[in-house]
Amino acid sequence: MTGKKELLVIEDLHAAVEGNEILRGVDLTIHEGELHALMGPNGSGKSTLAKIVAGHPAYAVTKGSIRYRGEDLLGLEVDERARKGLFLAFQYPSEIPGVTIAQFLRHAKSARTGEDISVLDFYDDLKVAMQKLDVDEKFAERFVNDGFSGGEKKRNEILQMAMLKPNLALLDETDSGLDIDALKIVSDGVNTLHREREHLGVLIITHYQRILNYIQPDFVHVMVDGKIVRSGDRELATHLETEGYESMRGQLTAAGS
């Protein structure tokens, strides 16, 4: 027993898109302050799970439940989930030419808090967040992801996370396309925010073990063919690096799936 409150509880979750079943009975519990890693091969359902938790309308939940801080999450619209402190960092963040990062973040923060934040207060908060994450202040005047490198896009996601102060952050393949230097920068940002907010829950979705060299998860889960087939500590990620995912697929078959 962790003694911490349950933040996200997923039970027997089944989901489909365009009639094709993708999730086939997912169970996952994240407590406040915990950092979880969800690993698995392409097409296993990892990103689908994140999108469903965030409220993507293309996916239909056919069975099971998701509770967030004790509340039925499936009964909430996408914007309601975000306002209640749920954050999704996208694998492929969209470009928004003509809108600066500062403008975007001010509107997002106002929507999150439900308050009209003064320009001075906002920029004070933004300056603190950028210093904390070692981000140049000029970064905030660039258009959102317009012409950004992969590392800059992911750094922008972490800056959003710092400003919006979520209770639960879902990081969907944050390490995708990053070179080693960018990976370290993004990982440092995640670690900084997780240390600062002791109740923040984080779910990192990834194919590879390499980001876990810099971010130390409390729990690692392996998803194969729409189900979590094994959970453990970070040593499980090391095992996957040497044994691959096929060793886990046999467990799914043995379970009668």
pLDDT of 30 reads: 98
pLDDT-flagged residues of the chain (< 70):
1-2, 249-257
- The residue written with tokens 């698995």 in the block is 40
Angle at 58 between CA 57 and CA 60, to 5 degrees: 85
- The residue written with tokens 């998701």 in the block is 66
Residue range 216-245, pLDDT digits in tens = 999 999 999 999 999 999 899 888 878 778
Fold of 6-254: Rossmann fold (3.40.50)
Give the residue among 226, 253, 201, 233 at the shortest CA–CA distance from 24.
Answer: 226
DSSP one-letter string for 119-151: HHHHHHHHHHHHHHTT--GGGGGSEETTT--HH
DSSP one-letter string for 226-240: TEEEEEESTHHHHHH
pLDDT of 69 reads: 96
- The residue written with tokens 């995912």 in the block is 245
pLDDT of 251 reads: 58
Phi, psi of 35 (to 5 degrees): -120, 115
Buried-state track 41-64, b at ≥16 Cβ within 10 A, e below 16 = beebbbbbbbbbbbbeeebeeeeb
Please tell me the distance from the alpha carbon of residue 183 to that of residue 135, in angstroms, as a whole number: 15
Q: How many CB atoms lie within 10 A of CB 207?
A: 17
